[in-house]
Amino acid sequence: MVVRSGKAKLLVVLLSFVVVAGLLAGGAAEPEVEPDRVVPEEFDWRQFEGETVVFNFPAHAAYNAVAPLIPEFEELTGINVETDQMAYMRLHDAQLLEMSQPRGDYDLIAMVVMWKTEYADGGLIQPLEPFFEQRHLAMPDYDFDDLVDPYVENTGMVGGDKIYLGGEGATLYGIPLGAETSFLAYRKDLFDEHGIDVPETYDDVVEVARYFAEEVDGVYGLAMRGASGHQATHAWLLHASPFGATVFDENWEPAFTSPESIETLEFMKKMVEYGPPGTASFDQDGQFNAFLQGDTAMYIDASVITGPIRNPEQSAIEGKVGYALHPRARTNLSQTGGFGIAIPSNASNPEAAFLLMQWLTSPEVERRAVLDGAGPVRHSTVNDPELQEKFPEFKVLAEQLNYANPDWRPIIPEWGEINEMLGIAINQVLTGDKTPEQAMQDVEQPIRDVMERAGYYD
Amino acid sequence: MATTLRKTVTPGLFILPALACILLILIFPVLSGVRLSFFEYAMRDFATGDDPVFIGLDNFRILFGSANFRASIRVTLVFVSGVVVFELLLGLILALLMEGGIKGLRLFRTLFILPIMIAPVVVGLIWRFMYHPSFGILNYFLARLGLDPIPWLHSTEWALRSVIIADVWQWTPFVFLILLAGLQGVPKDLIEAGIVDGCSYLQNLFFVKLPAIASIIAVAAILRLIDAFRSLVVIYVMTYGGPGVSTEVMSLHLYKTAFMAQRLGRASAIAVILLAILLLFSSVLVVRTLRTERK
């Protein structure tokens, strides 16, 4: 019932968009009579000259890298781009408030992938296929298929095999920019010094972490997140994926009390024990700092850390880091996450925003952004021999992307609430307040209640 | 007859605009919040145009069935009572030390006001850094003194205490300033009369000064009580409610319910419960103060 009305809304939004597009196209046709216009077959970058696009994005390596390039887009298109940059945890509130109004301020937004289903399901962002299908809007040489598949599926697809996945019936809502997978980063210098092999399995990770924590003064094992809520859930999901644990089974019944999940939690407990003090309170900043300041020998998490590692202002370990595949437990499956860009349904200038969207994620801009600290989202970039030479992690990334798992986190509209509930329970395990079994059992019924009320068991 | 009417109606007419304003900006939002607490409403329903669904007392039933919500009530009560008691005690001691007008009182007063003027987000960050297990200055000093490090923010045992310490640091000066002004306003002859009658310092304090400023102490307590019940930012920045839910006060639980879980109706229900608790505590204080003043 709710879904149907959501779809009806979407239809209305789409229809109204078609009408608006028609009006805009009519308005834009006028200057084409000017004699010095480009030939019609060629892509017209200046078709939305004079329009303003407001772009809302986070303080994040990929966006910090593309932001300085935006004036070139303005010069190319005559479109005026206003940027609104904020801390990433603040984006959600700001975007929801803007997108809930009849006419919002934002024309292009960067969203954490876990918000996409909520936004798309609520009709807050627009499907992108209608844009790509219009020849005058689709930029030539964009090469959509070059975008890393698991990233596109994870960032942009809604309504496929599962509501948050691609597959039959899925609709594209976002394009990856600042998307990431996970891998292992380790202190090459310390590993060499102590004659340690790079860990390939989770058992190896435990052994190496124990060694550093117990044998080496001032160095601990693994930099891991653990703070109550989203951060702890993220860490659990990250390790649960290779251990084979999931939040729900195929029937949406809670599955986090499974032996695999308990095994994941036992592993995390060990990492707190062998980790730097305060691991159980680390958010992503705390985790980054622990590794970047040389407190830990290993880091397994988002690949976005490579930017900060190379930044001498943030890093004490520049040039001392090696990279390897996400260690294997039952599988090598790594996370997919980070950010994608989308166009709000109530955008004032959606077509101009679409041009900016393509330009920002085009092969050429991506290549330049990567040189300035952004993570790659295109196969061509990751596999570029020249870039692989410059960035040693690209070879690892190219292989890791084969194992990137778009289904490592159930991004259903209720995820925001469940994410917090689960994260509190996981944190209680890490601080030693509850045993893994106890914590997971305590949160099973409350989470099932949320799912039941949302109608998953009808 | 006409004059009595004028006497009763005219003042009423003059108050009317102010009353209308208060109704509009104070009472109406409160009432609509109370109304919303009986509904299920997600923020994205704004955009889709879906109407709130009436669910009766379900929000309250779910809340009181939730271990995390019950924990947040307990955390709030411990936090508020800890904060108010320590701030009043410390503030009073400081005010008594300074009421005689010690040398450099002005300088001290200015220094003391500084914490109040710092933005809460910054206070949260400063304390988070000071409490940091590896880089924090507090554990550094503990280590220099040969003591074990304290897990300030990352143990369930310590986190709430640490949060209380930070709040006491920031708001004791406020209480101190109010009480200092109160003490300086106590008529000199009262105190001198006490001295002439042979009162000791403590007798003078407990039987003359404190009764004289009782209502001012109550005002300071009410203000801090209300503020402490609603405090969110410092805790949000320092611990985000963790570890577990050990520092998740009701206002933070409310924030998470509204913005993370997207349940505006249930968040309103939390606000209603918070308001009820707040009214209960502050009305007790207000009534008691009024009663003592009437005496």
B12 — pLDDT class (breaks 50, 70, 90): confident
CA distance A107 to A347: 4
Residues of A in contact with B67 (CB under 8 A): 442, 446
Contact list, B259 vs chain A (CB under 8 Å)? 92-93
| pLDDT tens digits, one per residue of A288-342 | 999 999 999 999 999 989 988 988 888 999 999 999 999 999 988 999 989 999 9
Do the bridges between strand A220-223 and strand A296-302 make them parallel or antiparallel, or are there none, so unpaired? parallel
Q: What is the pLDDT of residue B294?
A: 64
* Token pair 């935006």: residue: A70
Q: What is the pLDDT of residues B151-170, one digit of tens each?
A: 888 888 899 999 999 999 99
Return the H-helix or E-strand segment holding A252: none
Burial of residue A51 (CB within 10 Å: 0-12, 13-18, 19+) is buried
State pLDDT tens for residues A236-278. Answer: 999 999 999 999 999 999 999 999 999 999 999 999 999 999 8
A308, A343: one domain: no
Token readout for A126 is 């627009």
**Token couple for A311:** 């930044």
Min Cα–Cα distance to chain A from B162, Å: 14
According to CATH, what is the number of the domain B64-294?
1.10.3720.10
Q: Between chains, do A424 and B151 touch, taking CB under 8 Å as contact?
A: no
A-B CB pairs within 8 A amount to 110
Query: What value does the mean pLDDT take over residues B77-93?
Result: 95
Whether residue A6 is predicted with pLDDT greater than 60 in this model: the reply is no
Q: Phi and psi of A374, rounded to 5°?
A: -75, 155
Q: d(Cα A341, Cα A357) in Å, to the nearest integer?
A: 7
Residue A30 located in a structural domain: no
> What is the dihedral sign for C-alpha A177, A384, A298, A309?
negative
- Identify whether residues A291 and A426 lie together within a single domain: yes
Q: Which of B47, B153, B263 sits opposite A100 (nearest CB)?
A: B47
Asked if A219 contacts A317 with a C-beta cutoff of 8 angstroms, the reply is no
Residue of B nearest to A422 (CA): B244
Give the pLDDT confidence score for residue B1 in this predicted structure.
56
Give the distance from residue B151's alpha carbon to the nearest chain A alpha carbon, in angstroms. 7
Percentage of residues of chain A with pLDDT beyond 70: 91
**CA distances from residue A214 to A208, A217, A276, A280 in whole angstroms, order as listed:** 10, 8, 12, 19
Mean pLDDT rounded to a whole number for chain A: 88
Helix axes of B67-98 and B58-65: crossing angle, nearest 10 degrees: 80
Does A139 share its domain with A129?
A: yes
Question: Both A392 and A428 in a single domain?
Answer: no
pLDDT at A108 over 90: yes
Task: Indicate whether A198 pLDDT > 70.
Answer: yes
Domain span at residue A226? 181-334+408-453
Q: Which of A365, A380, A403 corresponds to the end of one domain?
A: A403
User: Mean pLDDT across the stretch A145-163?
Assistant: 90
Verify that A79 and A131 share a domain, yes or no: yes
Percent of chain B scored above 70 by pLDDT?
A: 96
Most confident of A49-58, B49-58, B202-211: A49-58
**Worst-scoring range by mean pLDDT, A49-53, A159-163, A207-211, A233-237?**
A159-163
Residue A226 in domain? yes
Chain B residue with CA closest to A103: the answer is B47
Report ipTM for this prediction: 0.80
Find out whether A175 and A152 touch, Cβ atoms under 8 Å: yes
Domain shared by A295 and A382, yes or no = no
% of chain A with per-residue pLDDT over 90: 70
Last residue of a domain, one of A364, A388, A403: A403
Residue with tokens 């893994």: A436
Q: What angle do CA B243, B246, B249 make, to 5 degrees?
A: 120
Q: How many CB atoms lie within 10 A of CB B170?
A: 23
Does A426 map to a domain?
yes
A231, A205: one domain: yes
Mean pLDDT within B63-87: 94
Dihedral sign, Cα of residue B178, residue B183, residue B184, residue B186: positive
A67 lies in a domain?
A: yes
**Which of A403, A418, A439 is at the close of a domain?**
A403
CATH number assigned to the domain comprising residue A395: 3.40.190.10
Residue A21 scores a pLDDT above 60: no
pLDDT for the residue numbered A11: 47
Looking at the structure, tell me whether residues A293 and A187 fall in a common domain: yes
Amino acid at B141: F
Kindly state the tokens that stand for A188. 């090459």
Indicate the residue of A96, A123, A278 with minimum beta-carbon distance to B43.
A96
Average the pLDDT over B42-68 and give the result.
84
Q: Do residues A170 and A185 share a domain? A: no
Strand partners, A323: A185
Residues A301 and A369 in one domain: no
Name the phi and psi angles at A351, rounded to 5.
-75, -40
- Cα dihedral A306, A308, A313, A315, rounded to 10, equals -70
Phi, psi of A41 (to 5 degrees): -65, -30
Whether A95 and A230 map to the same domain: the answer is no
CB atoms within 10 A of CB A41: 7
pLDDT computed for residue A40 by the predictor: 47
How many structural domains is chain A composed of?
Answer: 2
> Among partner residues B67, B133, B244, which is closest to A277 by beta-carbon distance?
B133
Structure-derived torsion over alpha carbons of residues A352, A355, A359, A363, reported in degrees to the nearest 10: 170
pLDDT, tens digit, 9 for 90 and up, residues A38-73: 444 578 999 999 999 999 999 988 999 999 999 999
Across the interface, whether the CB atoms of A99 and B48 are under 8 A apart is answered no
Q: Extract the runs of DSSP E, i.e. beta strands, from chain B.
A: 39-40, 53-54
Distance between CA atoms of A381 and A376, rounded to whole angstroms?
6
Tokens linked to B254:
């409310």
Checking if the pLDDT of A114 tops 80, the result is yes
Residue A45 lies in a domain: no
Using CA coordinates, name the residue in chain B closest to A101: B47
The dihedral through the CA atoms of A407, A411, A412, A418 has a sign that is positive
Task: Name A237's Cβ contacts closer than 8 Å, sequence gap at least 6.
Answer: A247, A335, A408, A409
What is the pLDDT at residue A36?
44
Flag whether residue A452 sits within 8 Å of chain B, measured between CB atoms.
no
In sequence order, what are the residues at sequence separation of 6 or more whose Cβ sits closer than 8 angstroms to the Cβ of residue A199? A184, A186, A205, A207, A208, A298, A324, A327
Pair (A345, A208) in one structural domain: no
A440 in a structural domain: yes
The confidence score (pLDDT) of residue A260 equals 96
Q: Is the pLDDT of residue B193 over 90?
A: no
Mean pLDDT (whole number) for B83-97: 94
A228 with B68: Cβ contact below 8 A: no
Cβ neighbours of residue B197 closer than 8 Å, sequence gap 6 or more: none
Could you report the per-residue pLDDT of A378-437, keeping only the tens digit for each?
999 999 999 999 998 999 999 999 999 888 899 888 888 899 999 999 999 999 999 999
CA B112 – CA B175 distance, rounded (Å) = 11
